[in-house]
Amino acid sequence: MNYNIKPTVKDISYRKLEGYLKWAKIIQWGRKNPIGFCENFFGVEFLDVQKWIFMNTWTKPYNLWCICRNGGKALALDMKIPTPNGFKLMRD
């Protein structure tokens, strides 16, 4: 097969184009309403503080999320984690 040929609109079926448009509408709605999208996707209702935090981090380029004790952040000691000097084991 020749993979250098790019498909044109004539090569894509009407049914496939309808599918792409449906996904594009879902993505656009998710970008306009990220809390509603996440609540529908995960099937849970966020608390007010979670909504506030989510929207504040949605609009800013750099974010830091901190979690208190017993927040489910434990990692296995043999897990590889990224560091500025490459991947290292959690125990290191």
- pLDDT tens, residue by residue, 30-60: 888 899 998 988 888 888 988 988 888 888 8
> Who's near 46: CB < 8 A, 6+ residues apart?
35, 38, 39, 54
pLDDT band at residue 10 under the 50/70/90 scheme? low
What is 35-91 written as a DSSP string? HHHHHHHHT-PPPHHHHHHHHHHHS-S-------TTSS----TT-EEEETTEEEETT
Q: Residue for token digits 């509408």? A: 25
The predicted model scores a pTM of 0.48
CA-CA distance, 54 to 79, in Å (whole number)?
Answer: 27
